[in-house]
Amino acid sequence: MRKLTFIAAAVSVALLGGCQQMQEQPKPAPSVQSQPVQSEIDKANAFFEDTFNRDVMKSPIYQTYMGIKKDYDKWDDGSEERVLEDFEQTKADLVALNAINRDLLDDATKVSYDLKKQDLENEIADFKWRHYNYPVNQMFGVHSMIPAFLINQHQIADVSDAKAYISRLNGVTTVIDQLIKDLEVRADKGIIAPKFVFPHVIDSSNNILRGAPFHDGEDSTLLADFKRKVNALEIADSEKSALISDAEKALKAAVKPSYTKLINFLAQLEKRADDRDGAWKFPDGEAFYNNALARTTTTDLTAKEIHTIGLAEVARIHDEMREIKDKVGFKGDLKAFMQFMKTDKQFYYPNTAEGKQRYLDEATALIDNMKSRLDELFIVKPKADLKVKAVEAFREKAAGKAFYQQPAPDGSRPGIYYANLYDMEAMPTYQMEALAYHEGIPGHHMQIAIAQELEDVPKFRKFGGYTAYVEGWGLYSELVPKEMGLYEDPYSDFGRLAMELWRACRLVVDTGIHAMKWTRQEGIDYYVNNTPNATSDGVKMVERHIVMPSQATAYKVGMLKILELREAAKEKLGDKFDIREFHDVVLKNGAVPLNVLEKFVDQWVAKKQAA
C-alpha cells in the first residue's frame, strides 16, 4: 500500500505542474532495526528514518523523484502480489511502532509517533478500498504517467542514464500488463469509469503512438525527448546514433504493442461502462465515500454536513459579491455582473509578449510588496527566496493556470510561483492578486519552504502532506492580505471572492455527485449558474470530481478550520492574541491533519493563558 502512496504523491506533483527532483537523498537501510538505539527517542527516530528509506528504495519511480539513480532502469512493481506484500509490511511496521514506549518520548517525537501510527492504521483500514479508484482517467493514470515521467523526471547526464531510459521503454510491457490486470479486477467488482472517461484516455494513449518510429512524419513525443537528451551529451556521434537506434527498437518492440493492447482493452471495457458518475454506484459505495471524506478532510464531517457548509458559503460569498457590484456602480443583477467580469476586455492583458511580461511584472510587484510586510504576519520565515516565472512553452498548453514549485532543501534553487500565460483570456487581472498570494507568499511558499527547513523532523513529515492542511493554508492565505488592507481595487477583491466561491461550490458538487446521485450535467449546471467561470471550467471540474471522489473538498474545509481555530484563539486570548504567533503554531510542525492542528492551537492558547 505504501508504494501506492508514493505513486499518488508523484501524480500530485504532476498535477501541480511538476516539482523538480528533491535534493535530499535518503540512504538505503537494510532493516528497521539497523541502528543501535540508546533510548526510546532514538529508537523511534531510527524507525522513522529506516522505514522511510526502505520504502523509497522499494520504489524506482519515487527514487527518481528524490534524485536517486539506484534503480534508474526500472519501474515500480504494480502486481497484486506486491500490493499484498506491502500490506503485510505495513502491519509489521505497526507492530514495531507499538513496541516503542510512547510515554518515554519527548513532545516533538510524540507528534511524529502519533502521525506515523495514524498513517499506518489508516493504510490497514483502507486496504479493503484499494480497488475503489480508476487507474486510468482523463486527469492522470499509468498510461499518461509513463511518458510524463520519462520526459520530466528521467534526466540523461551520461550513457548509463540513456541506457536506463531504454530499459524503462522495454519495461513498459510489464507495466501495461499489470495495469490491464488491475482494470480487470476492478471491472469484475463493478468498478468501471463512466463512459465520458474512455475517449480521453484512448486519445491520450493514441497520442503516444503518433509519429516516428511508429509512422512517417515528425518524431513521436518519446523519441523526440530521447533524441534531445542524448544529443546534448558530449559523446561520439556514432554512440549517439547507436543509443537512438536502440530506443527506436524499444519503442517499436515494447511501447507500441503495449499501448495498442491497452487501447484495444479500453475499447472493450468502454462497452461495459455506463453514465453513472458517483461513488454511490460502487459496492458499499456510501461507506467508501464517507471514508474518503474522512481521509481527505481529516475531519469527521459527513457528506450532508459538507454539502450544507458549501451551500451556506456560496450564499455568503454571493452576498459579498453583490456588495462589490453595488460599490462599483454596476446596474444589473449578480449574474449579469459575473458575465461582465468574465467578458470585459479591461480585465485581460493582450496575448502578446508585452502583455505577458506586464502580467509577470505586476505579479512580481505583488510578491515583493508582500515580502516587505511579512514581519506583520510571521516570526519564522523561510530562508529560501521566491521567484515569479511564466510556465515554460513546452508544457504551458497542458499545465494548470498557476502552481508552486518548492525550493531545493539545500538552498540551491528558490521557490517558484508559476503563472501560466499560454492563454491570457484564462488569466483575468482581477484574479492576479489572489493567485500570487495563494501560490506564493503568504501561501504555499511560506508553508512548504518552512516545512522543508524544519530541523529534527523525520523525512516522512518533510516530504509528506495532508491536502486539507496544505490547500487549506493556501486558501486562507488569499484572505489574510484582505485583512491587511490589500485588494484595494474592488475588482481584485471580486477576484479573491470568485476563487473562494469556486472552492465553496466544490463542497456542494462533490457531495452532490457522490452522495446525492447528482448527474454530471447537474454538477456542470451548478458551476455555470453560481460562478463567473466559463462552462468549460465547470465541465473539467465536474469530471475531476467524478474520478477523484472527495479530493476537492479539502480546500474549503481546511481554510474554514484554520479560521475557526484562529477566531476561537482570539476569543480566549483577547489582547494576548498575536497573529504572528498563531501562524507560527500553524506552520512550525509541517503538514498535519486538522485534528492534530487543533491540538497544537489549543496547547498554545492554554500556555498563553497560563502565562
Total domain count, the chain: 3
User: Grid coordinates in use for 316?
Assistant: 455568503
pLDDT exceeds cutoff 60 at 260:
yes
Amino acid identity at 225: D
Residue 530 structural domain: 291-555
Express each pLDDT in 430-447 by its tens digit. Answer: 999 999 999 999 999 999
Tell me, yes or no, whether 450 lies in a domain.
yes
Tell me, yes or no, whether 581 lies in a domain.
no
pLDDT score recorded for residue 218: 94
Cα 570 to Cα 354: distance, rounded to the nearest angstrom = 46
Tell me, yes or no, whether 602 lies in a domain.
no
Q: Of 130, 146, 177, which residue is a domain's last?
A: 130
Tell me, yes or no, whether 589 lies in a domain.
no
pLDDT score recorded for residue 38: 59
Tell me, yes or no, whether 580 lies in a domain.
no
Tell me, yes or no, whether 81 lies in a domain.
yes
What number is the average pLDDT over the span 448-452? 89
Q: Of 109, 130, 151, which residue is a domain's last?
A: 130
Tell me, yes or no, whether 234 lies in a domain.
yes
Claim to verify: residue 140 and residue 126 sit in the same structural domain: no
User: Grid coordinates in use for 21?
Assistant: 527532483
Which residues have C-beta within 8 Å of that of residue 414, sequence separation ≥ 6? 384, 385, 386, 387, 407
Q: Of 242, 274, 306, which residue is a domain's last?
A: 274
Claim to verify: residue 508 and residue 373 sit in the same structural domain: yes
| 213, 277, 282, 441 from 287: Cα distances, Å | 48, 16, 10, 38
Cα 256 to Cα 214: distance, rounded to the nearest angstrom = 7
For 184-284, list the strands marked E by DSSP: none
Q: What DSSP line would sit under 541-595, residue for residue?
A: HHHHHHHSTTGGGHHHHHHHHHHHHHHHHHHHHGGG--HHHHHHHHHTT-S--HH
Express each pLDDT in 470-506 by its tens digit. Answer: 999 999 999 999 999 999 999 999 999 999 999 999 9
Claim to verify: residue 266 and residue 187 sit in the same structural domain: yes
Claim to verify: residue 454 and residue 319 sit in the same structural domain: yes
Claim to verify: residue 176 and residue 224 sit in the same structural domain: yes
Claim to verify: residue 344 and residue 462 sit in the same structural domain: yes
pLDDT exceeds cutoff 70 at 561:
yes
Mean pLDDT of the chain: 91
Claim to verify: residue 124 and residue 141 sit in the same structural domain: no
Claim to verify: residue 379 and residue 302 sit in the same structural domain: yes
pLDDT exceeds cutoff 50 at 26:
no
b/e per residue 579-589 (b: at least 16 CB within 10 A): bebbbbbbbeb
Cα 252 to Cα 90: distance, rounded to the nearest angstrom = 39
Express each pLDDT in 331-378 by its tens digit. Answer: 999 999 999 999 999 999 999 999 999 999 999 999 999 999 999 999
Claim to verify: residue 297 and residue 266 sit in the same structural domain: no
Tell me, yes or no, whether 597 lies in a domain.
no
pLDDT score recorded for residue 13: 32
pLDDT exceeds cutoff 60 at 193:
yes
pLDDT score recorded for residue 11: 36
Which residues have C-beta within 8 Å of that of residue 546, sequence separation ≥ 6? 194, 197, 277, 278, 513, 520
Express each pLDDT in 141-164 by its tens digit. Answer: 999 999 989 998 899 999 999 999
pLDDT exceeds cutoff 60 at 450:
yes
What number is the average pLDDT over the span 548-576? 97
Q: Report the side by side order of strands in the sheet with 415-419.
A: 386-390, 415-419, 402-405
What number is the average pLDDT over the span 506-524? 97
Claim to verify: residue 542 and residue 413 sit in the same structural domain: yes
Claim to verify: residue 103 and residue 204 sit in the same structural domain: no
